[in-house]
């Protein structure tokens, strides 16, 4: 004999009820089935809403009622194709519904809803569903009977959450089933009767419990809970896409997970079957072939994972009681808990510091105000004597918990849990770990639940796959290249490096798009055309609100305004990767502040592409400094654009056209004056000096320009180009001098003895800079370890492709962080 329980979604539509019937048809061939059913999906909530509206004198309760009526009649219409039978069923159902309508009308008149009436009202859901299903099966020729569970399950009169009188209940159940011969017996879940004959219920979600009580009373071979997911999952599958069904769980693990929010199993369900050692199997009505989750005494034959699941309870309030008057006074906690118990308030989690100076209690949000009032009253005396502060309530919190019998045998589990939460800026308000070490719980903000579950899930269950969520701003040459490279590499990264790299937000100065599941990179351009209008602040706010783990803001602009928002991102624990060099070359305090924020908020700030595009220049310098080497001087050609210009300019090609070409090929900044004035190179050597530990400002970099006054005075890019034509003779002179000296013109940056300077130099034949081709960069680090032969980094130092790949490298570096 088996007991099967079908939940609200399993009996929520005609299609699903047909699936239930098919399942029962096949199982009942082998063994007798006792079937407990919930109300049709959503009906219990709708009954409650209608009642609340009626009590609050809102006439919308009538619409609520009509909706409930409609939902049932549609199901009957669709399930039973014979008019005669259909009408018979409808007649009984309508009679019940009339009763319900009268009850609601009554509530509207008296505007009061007692727990006792609540039970009466909610019981309609299960009564209707069990009747409709048994009649349908009967009509379809199955050997089925209906039994009212109220006649079997006896409780106290604690309405809405009654306690079962097991002795009497067991007796009733055994007596009934001894005589019952039907192959399938259907019973409504959730409802019961008090010793004095009043209708009671077993608490929301209580149909699972009904089934467990019957299973235990009859000592059946198995209890099956049929629902809309394929078992108890590693975490709530509605919040974490990667959650997977757990094959096997011990009873205790199942209790912990369900107690801490895994709604798929009502927590009291386990106890009755545990006592009789009856396994529980959680199965999916929509996918009956899936094996589901097997819950039994034994866990060791399951997986040896330490953490089996992660669960969450939302709508938590934290009560904090503190004060010196608590220290060392016996009986204090007793008074506190007695007060809560008198108010029937369930305590979900407790923590007390060993100093006894404060105690934190997590309870349901809805109980918070009553709890405060009651506790403040109980401790009135101590509060007035200032031994204790009035109780503090914080709302909008949640509890997350990791669960596993085997956790106690593994070190560092809580360390892993809290370090990933910390890395993702999830603030922890309180922590509790049971002495059994089967459960580690943390109280966090409600807004962080999804991120926290996903982060912890990734850490413990996803073969170390790390998801990175990018918010890219600036979709010009470099931005587009970066997006292309990401698209090309996405599947490689996932497969080989276990990095799930997704672009979640994209913006330029006009538009922005978002997709929390990752923007499809096949057709983002089309999507972008219809995007909402963007702002720097708007993009930031959206990134913060999405609250995704491992979020990274990528700045591919050259905008000062964009660079001004880095601090805000870092404070939100969002990493910043930038090729925009304004932030690092702005005033020193700002640069330093960003470094400090990065450390404080554990949000990396990476800008390798600020110097030498994709070349590992900053990284090399950082490694030298970190390993204790002293960088004494740096000599470098750091402008791919200027190198390109001076490599192409000659007495046969004028200066203006050469600069134009450089811009056309994407080697200059949008405003070429930034390159030609030397300011771009000055910024780069400034950044290197700062990375080397120097407190330096841009004004400290000596910049000897090779431009003329009229070049420098130009008011616009066009004027500047015009001035280049006018000053061609000046540039030809520079060229001629270098040629006469057998030298090449190179724009050189130098850092030495704590000073930095940039300027055009004539480089002789034997110098390593002489043969520097095209848009290449070269950096020579002279250090204590490399005193004569410098450490040289050389290669393409400008261009969209290499800059994008430098950004990409910084992003990947974060995955390893």
**Which token pair is 155?**
């409780």
Residues 36-75 as x/- pattern, contact with ligand ADP by CB under 6 A: --x-------------------------------------
211/224 Cα distance (integer angstroms): 9
Using the Cα atoms of residue 602, residue 603, residue 609 and residue 611 in order, give the sign of their dihedral: negative
Q: Which of 12, 64, 189, 205 binds Mg ion (CB under 5 A)?
A: 205
End-to-end Cα distance, the chain: 55
Q: Residue 678, interface with ligand ASP (CB under 6 A)?
A: no
Residues 32-51 as x/- pattern, contact with ligand ASP by CB under 6 A: ------xx----x-------
Residue 232 interacts, among ligand ASP, ligand ADP, Mg ion, none and using kind-specific CB cut-offs from 5 to 8 Å, with ligand ADP
Binding range to ligand ASP, per CB under 6 A, among 164-172, 203-211, 224-232, 293-301: 203-211
Residue whose Cβ sits closest to Mg ion:
205
Q: Which of 20, 173, 255, 262 binds ligand ADP (CB under 6 A)?
A: 262
Q: With contact defined as beta carbons under 8 Å apart, do 199 and 193 qualify?
A: yes
* Closest distance of CB 128 from ligand ASP, Å: 11
Residue 170 interacts, among ligand ADP, ligand ASP, Mg ion, none and using kind-specific CB cut-offs from 5 to 8 Å, with none
Q: Residue 217, interface with ligand ADP (CB under 6 A)?
A: no
**Which token pair is 264?**
């798929």
Q: Residue 292, interface with ligand ADP (CB under 6 A)?
A: no
650/656 Cα distance (integer angstroms): 11
Q: Between residue 124 and residue 183, which ones bind Mg ion under the rule CB under 5 A?
A: none
Residue 204 interacts, among Mg ion, ligand ASP, ligand ADP, none and using kind-specific CB cut-offs from 5 to 8 Å, with ligand ASP
313/397 Cα distance (integer angstroms): 9
* Closest distance of CB 10 from ligand ADP, Å: 6
Q: Which of 62, 69, 204, 498 binds ligand ASP (CB under 6 A)?
A: 204
560/64 Cα distance (integer angstroms): 56
451/445 Cα distance (integer angstroms): 11
Q: Residue 227, interface with ligand ADP (CB under 6 A)?
A: yes
560/558 Cα distance (integer angstroms): 7
Give 239's contacts (C-beta < 8 A, 6+ positions apart).
312, 449, 450, 453, 454
> Which residues, listed in sequence order, are joined to residue 440 by a DSSP beta bridge?
402, 433
Give 379's contacts (C-beta < 8 A, 6+ positions apart).
321, 335, 336, 388, 391
Q: Which one, of 391, 363, 364, lies nearest residue 376 by Cα?
A: 391
Query: Dihedral angle at the C-alpha atoms of 599, 603, 604, 607, nearest 10 degrees?
Result: -110
Residues 311-340 as x/- pattern, contact with ligand ADP by CB under 6 A: x-----------------------------
Q: Between residue 645 and residue 704, which ones bind ligand ADP under the rule CB under 6 A?
A: none
**Other beta carbons less than 10 A from residue 272's beta carbon:** 22
> Which residues, listed in sequence order, are joined to residue 398 by a DSSP beta bridge?
444
Q: If residue 401 lies in a helix (H) or strand (E), which one and from where to where?
A: strand 392-403
Q: Which of 198, 228, 669, 722 binds ligand ADP (CB under 6 A)?
A: 228
Q: Based on the number of CB atoms within 10 Å of its own CB, is 464 exposed (0-12), middle (13-18) or buried (19 or more)? A: exposed
Q: What is the DSSP letter of 602?
A: T
Q: Residue 479, interface with ligand ASP (CB under 6 A)?
A: no
Q: Residue 205, interface with ligand ASP (CB under 6 A)?
A: yes
Q: Residue 255, interface with ligand ADP (CB under 6 A)?
A: no
Q: Residue 161, interface with ligand ASP (CB under 6 A)?
A: no
Q: Residue 129, interface with ligand ADP (CB under 6 A)?
A: no
* Closest distance of CB 285 from ligand ADP, Å: 8
Catalytic option among 86, 684, 746, 775: 684
Query: Dihedral angle at the C-alpha atoms of 495, 499, 502, 507, nearest 10 degrees?
Result: -130
Q: Residue 797, interface with Mg ion (CB under 5 A)?
A: no
Q: Residue 229, interface with ligand ADP (CB under 6 A)?
A: yes
Cα angle: 544, vertex 545, 548; to 5 degrees: 70
Binding range to ligand ADP, per CB under 6 A, among 59-67, 112-120, 225-233, 528-536: 225-233
Q: Which of 64, 188, 206, 272 binds ligand ASP (CB under 6 A)?
A: 206
Q: With contact defined as beta carbons under 8 Å apart, do 512 and 538 qualify?
A: yes
**Which token pair is 662?**
């450089």
Q: With contact defined as beta carbons under 8 Å apart, do 737 and 758 qualify?
A: no
Q: Residue 233, interface with ligand ADP (CB under 6 A)?
A: yes
Q: Residue 284, interface with ligand ADP (CB under 6 A)?
A: no
Residue 235 interacts, among Mg ion, ligand ADP, ligand ASP, none and using kind-specific CB cut-offs from 5 to 8 Å, with ligand ADP
Q: How many residues are recorded in the chain?
A: 817
Q: With contact defined as beta carbons under 8 Å apart, do 668 and 675 qualify?
A: yes
Q: Between residue 90 and residue 149, which ones bind ligand ASP under the rule CB under 6 A?
A: 125
Q: Residue 505, interface with ligand ASP (CB under 6 A)?
A: no
Cα angle: 23, vertex 25, 30; to 5 degrees: 100
Q: Is the Cβ of residue 190 or residue 646 nearer to Mg ion in the bound state?
A: 190
Residue whose Cβ sits closest to ligand ADP:
7
Q: Is the Cβ of residue 44 or residue 557 nearer to ligand ASP in the bound state?
A: 44
- Active site (annotated) includes residue 684: yes
Q: Residue 268, interface with ligand ADP (CB under 6 A)?
A: no
Residue 237 interacts, among ligand ASP, ligand ADP, Mg ion, none and using kind-specific CB cut-offs from 5 to 8 Å, with ligand ADP
Binding range to ligand ADP, per CB under 6 A, among 85-93, 226-234, 545-553, 593-601: 226-234
* Closest distance of CB 12 from ligand ADP, Å: 8
Residue 172 interacts, among ligand ASP, Mg ion, ligand ADP, none and using kind-specific CB cut-offs from 5 to 8 Å, with none
Q: Residue 395, interface with ligand ADP (CB under 6 A)?
A: no
**DSSP assignment of 332-398:** HHHHHHHHHHHTTPPEEEEEE-TT-SEEEEEEEGGGHHHHHHHHHHHTHHHHHTTSSPPPEEEEEEE
What is the separation of C-alpha 433 from the centre of its chain, rounded to a whole number of angstroms? 23
**DSSP assignment of 654-665:** -HHHHHHHHHHT
* Closest distance of CB 301 from ligand ADP, Å: 21
Q: Residue 730, interface with ligand ASP (CB under 6 A)?
A: no
Q: If residue 128 lies in a helix (H) or strand (E), which one and from where to where?
A: helix 115-139
Q: Residue 296, interface with ligand ADP (CB under 6 A)?
A: no
Q: Residue 188, interface with ligand ASP (CB under 6 A)?
A: no
Q: Which one, of 619, 629, 651, 636, lies nearest residue 683 by Cα?
A: 636
Strand 248-250 to 551-555 pairing: unpaired
Q: Which of 64, 189, 292, 479 binds ligand ASP (CB under 6 A)?
A: 189
Q: Which of 2, 8, 745, 772 binds ligand ADP (CB under 6 A)?
A: 8
Residue 473 interacts, among ligand ADP, ligand ASP, Mg ion, none and using kind-specific CB cut-offs from 5 to 8 Å, with none
**Which token pair is 363?**
């309870």
Q: Which one, of 669, 627, 641, lies nearest residue 747 by Cα?
A: 641
Residue 236 interacts, among Mg ion, ligand ASP, ligand ADP, none and using kind-specific CB cut-offs from 5 to 8 Å, with ligand ADP
Helix (H, G, I), strand (E, B) or coil at 615: coil
Binding range to ligand ADP, per CB under 6 A, among 7-15, 298-306, 372-380, 700-708: 7-15
Q: Residue 41, interface with Mg ion (CB under 5 A)?
A: no
**DSSP assignment of 771-816:** T--TTEEEEEEEESSSSSS-EEEEEE--SHHHHHHHHHHHHHHHHT
* Closest distance of CB 7 from Mg ion, Å: 5
Residues that bind ligand ADP (CB under 6 A): 7-10, 38, 205, 227-229, 232-233, 235-238, 262-264, 309, 311
Residues that bind ligand ASP (CB under 6 A): 7-8, 38-39, 44, 125, 189-190, 204-208
Q: Active-site residue numbers?
A: 684
Residues that bind Mg ion (CB under 5 A): 7, 205
């Amino acid at each position: 004999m088996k007991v099967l329980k079908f939940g609200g979604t399993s009996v929520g539509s005609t299609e699903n009820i047909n699936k239930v019937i098919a399942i029962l048809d096949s199982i009942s061939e082998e063994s007798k089935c006792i079937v407990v059913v919930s109300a049709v999906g959503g009906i219990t909530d709708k009954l409650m809403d209608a009642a609340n509206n009626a009590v609050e004198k809102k006439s919308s309760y009538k619409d609520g009622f009509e909706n409930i009526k409609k939902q049932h009649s549609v199901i009957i219409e669709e399930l039973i194709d014979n008019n005669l039978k259909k009408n018979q069923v409808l007649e009984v159902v309508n009679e019940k519904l009339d009763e319900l309508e009268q009850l609601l009308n009554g509530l509207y008149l008296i505007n009061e809803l007692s727990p006792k009436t609540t039970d009466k009202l909610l019981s309609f859901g299960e009564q209707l569903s069990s009747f409709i299903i048994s009649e349908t099966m009967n009509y379809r020729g199955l050997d089925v009977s209906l039994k009212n569970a109220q006649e079997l399950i006896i409780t106290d009169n604690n309405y809405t959450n009654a306690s079962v009188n097991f002795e009497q209940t067991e007796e009733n159940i055994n007596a009934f089933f001894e005589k019952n011969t039907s192959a399938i017996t259907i019973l409504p879940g959730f409802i019961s009767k008090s010793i004095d004959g009043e209708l009671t219920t077993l608490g929301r979600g209580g149909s699972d419990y009904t089934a467990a009580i019957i299973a235990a009373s009859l000592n059946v071979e198995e209890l099956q809970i049929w629902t809309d997911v394929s078992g108890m999952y590693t975490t709530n599958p509605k919040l974490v896409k990667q959650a997977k069904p757990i094959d096997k769980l011990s009873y205790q693990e199942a209790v912990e997970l369900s107690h801490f929010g895994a709604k798929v199993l009502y927590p009291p369900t386990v106890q009755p079957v545990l006592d009789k050692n009856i396994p529980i199997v959680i199965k999916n009505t929509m996918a009956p072939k899936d094996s589901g989750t097997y819950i039994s005494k034994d866990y060791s034959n399951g997986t040896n994972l330490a953490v089996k699941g992660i669960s969450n309870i939302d709508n938590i309030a934290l009560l904090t009681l503190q004060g010196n008057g608590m220290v060392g006074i016996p009986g204090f906690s007793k008074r506190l808990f007695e007060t809560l118990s008198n108010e029937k308030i369930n305590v979900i989690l407790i923590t007390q510091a060993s100093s006894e100076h404060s105690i934190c209690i997590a309870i349901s949000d809805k109980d918070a105000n009553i709890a405060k009032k009651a506790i403040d009253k109980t401790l009135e005396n101590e509060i007035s004597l200032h031994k204790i502060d009035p109780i503090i309530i914080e709302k909008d919190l949640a509890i997350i918990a990791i669960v596993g019998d085997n956790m106690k045998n593994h070190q560092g589990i809580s360390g892993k849990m809290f370090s990933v939460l910390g890395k993702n800026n999830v603030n922890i308000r309180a922590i509790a770990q049971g002495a059994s070490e089967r459960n580690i719980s943390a109280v966090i903000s409600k807004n962080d639940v999804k991120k926290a579950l996903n982060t912890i899930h990734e850490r413990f269950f996803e073969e170390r796959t790390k998801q990175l969520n990018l918010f890219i701003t600036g979709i010009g040459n470099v931005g587009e290249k970066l997006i292309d490279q990401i698209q090309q590499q996405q599947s490689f990264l996932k497969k080989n490096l276990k990095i799930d790299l997704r672009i979640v937000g994209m913006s330029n100065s006009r538009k922005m798009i978002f997709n929390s599941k990752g923007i499809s990179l096949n057709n983002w351009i089309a999507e972008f055309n219809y995007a909402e209008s963007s702002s720097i602040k708007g993009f930031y706010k959206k990134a913060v609100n999405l609250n995704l783990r491992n979020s990274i803001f990528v700045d591919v602009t050259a905008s000062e305004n964009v660079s001004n928002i880095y601090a805000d991102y870092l404070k939100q624990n969002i990493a910043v990767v930038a090729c925009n060099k304004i932030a690092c070359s702005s005033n020193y305090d700002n640069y330093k502040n960003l470094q400090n924020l990065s450390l404080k908020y554990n949000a990396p700030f990476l800008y390798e592409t600020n110097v030498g595009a994709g070349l590992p220049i900053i990284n090399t310098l950082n490694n030298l400094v970190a390993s204790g080497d002293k960088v004494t001087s740096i000599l470098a050609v750091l402008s791919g654009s200027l190198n390109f210009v001076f490599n192409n300019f000659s007495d046969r090609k004028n200066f203006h056209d050469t600069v134009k070409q450089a811009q056309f090929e994407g080697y200059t900044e949008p405003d070429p004056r930034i390159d030609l004035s030397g300011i771009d190179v000055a910024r780069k050597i400034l950044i290197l000096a700062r990375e080397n530990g120097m407190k330096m400002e841009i004004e400290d970099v000596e910049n000897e320009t090779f431009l003329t006054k009229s070049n420098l005075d130009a008011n616009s890019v066009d004027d500047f180009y015009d001035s280049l034509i006018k000053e061609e003779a000046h540039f030809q002179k520079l060229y001629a001098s270098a040629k006469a000296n057998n030298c090449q013109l190179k724009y050189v940056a130098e850092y030495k003895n704590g000073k930095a300077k940039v300027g055009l130099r004539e480089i002789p034949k034997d110098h390593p800079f002489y043969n520097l081709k095209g848009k290449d960069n070269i950096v020579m680090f002279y250090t204590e370890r490399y005193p004569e032969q410098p450490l040289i980094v050389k290669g393409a130092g400008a261009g969209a492709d290499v800059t994008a790949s430098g950004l990409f490298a910084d992003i990947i570096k974060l995955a390893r962080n």
